[in-house]
Structure 1
Amino acid sequence: MKNIVLIGFMGVGKGSVAREVIKHSEYITIDTDDLIETMENKKIKKIFQEDGEKHFRSIEKKVAHWLETSLKNTLISTGGGFYKQKNIKDIGVIVLLDSPFEDIIKRIKAHPNAVKKIKKRPLLNDLKLAQKLYDERRPEYLEVADVVIDVTNKSAYDCAKELLKKVKKYV
């Protein structure tokens, strides 16, 4: 089995879908942002504030290399910009979790932990800038993806079932 790499805009549900996939498959899961926070011993928000985006992206590059050379049979949930890593196609099957920007924001705001989820993602403090970033990234996500799952109005369970069905031909 090859790795599955989940990409998509922040808040689209990569973590939720990953947790459902591992319940219904033999995959284990890791999150690139969690790896980076462990490596740096600080939260992503603090890395951006104290060290800047350039430093964060250099750590992402190290993580991408490690994923490519060290993991198999793993579902990898990535940060919103991880798809830009040059070796992403060598890491595994790329699955885009896709949804319109407005639905992502609605989904986050409806979450019982909404304040914490928004605080964790500083780019969502300015919705106009977040929309602009979404508009820039979405065509690039579509270009990189091997498989696209529309998560709009679907449960994480339904998305996981669809994902496992669609990736069979790649793994």
Structure 2
Amino acid sequence: MSNNIVLIGFMGVGKGTVARELCKKLKRLMLDTDDLIESSENLKIREIFETKGEEYFRKQESLVAKNLAANVQNCVIAGGGGFVNVKNLNKIGTVIYLKSSFDGIIKRIENSQNAQKKFAKRPLLKDRDKAKELFKTRKKIYEKKADIIVDVEGKSAKNIVKEIVNKIKK
């Protein structure tokens, strides 16, 4: 297994924000799986879902996961919300689940400066009831696949990073 750190959790939980802070602290590069897919497809996630469908997007996630496992070392990787379902997740690095309640995630997005943009970027959040069902399903998977679980609700990114660093050192 590599020395990468892979952040997983539901969409909007703050994986990208925490990853950026963690990179500063550990002096590592950051990769975001959604950004990698957007770059290779030259489309936004929302556009990929609209034009090619979710199944196509999930295949792209699998390709990214294979490449990360084979070629990437010493990075902090922010996975998309569904990245937890890739087959080789634990081969990529230490998996850290950023845990929050569904309402906590919605509140976090609503309180962000560019809330509308953040909601628009997440096509699966359009239907809140469906999203809540997806959250319940994925929550069990996140917990099962995680090497480390960090409750992030109501905490600043800096405090979350401190907690992660302490848990990694153990």
Tell me, yes or no, whether TM beats 0.5: yes
Render the CA deviation track for 1:78-115: whole Å, top value 9, x for unaligned.
00001111111100000000000001001100111001
Distance 1:123 1:42 in 2: 17
Q: Which runs of 5+ in 1 are unaligned?
A: none
The residue identity in structure 2 corresponding to 1:68 is: A
Kept in 1, the 8 Å contact 2:5–2:95? The answer is: yes
Between the two proteins, what is the percent identity of the paired residues?
49
Q: Which runs of 5+ in 2 are unaligned?
A: none
> Which residue of structure 2 aligns with residue 162 of structure 1?
163
Which of 95-104 and 17-26 deviates more?
17-26
Could you say what secondary structure the match of 1:6 adopts? strand
1:2 equivalent in alignment to 2:3? yes
Correspondence list, 1:57-96, <5 A? 57-96=58-97
Render the CA deviation track for 1:31-82: whole Å, top value 9, x for unaligned.
0000000010100111111111111111111100100010100000000001
> Which residue of structure 1 aligns with residue 39 of structure 2?
38
Render the CA deviation track for 1:106-139: whole Å, top value 9, x for unaligned.
1100111001000111211211111010001001
Kept in 1, the 8 Å contact 2:9–2:142? The answer is: yes
Kept in 1, the 8 Å contact 2:49–2:123? The answer is: no
Distance 1:123 1:58 in 2: 17
The residue identity in structure 2 corresponding to 1:18 is: A
State the Cα distance separating 1:168 from its structure 2 match: 2.2
The residue identity in structure 2 corresponding to 1:153 is: G
The residue identity in structure 2 corresponding to 1:14 is: K
Distance 1:32 1:64 in 2: 8
The residue identity in structure 1 corresponding to 2:163 is: E
> Which residue of structure 2 aligns with residue 122 of structure 1?
123
TM-score by length of 1: 0.96
* CA RMSD in angstroms, aligned pairs only: 0.9
How many residues are paired up?
169
> Which residue of structure 2 aligns with residue 147 of structure 1?
148
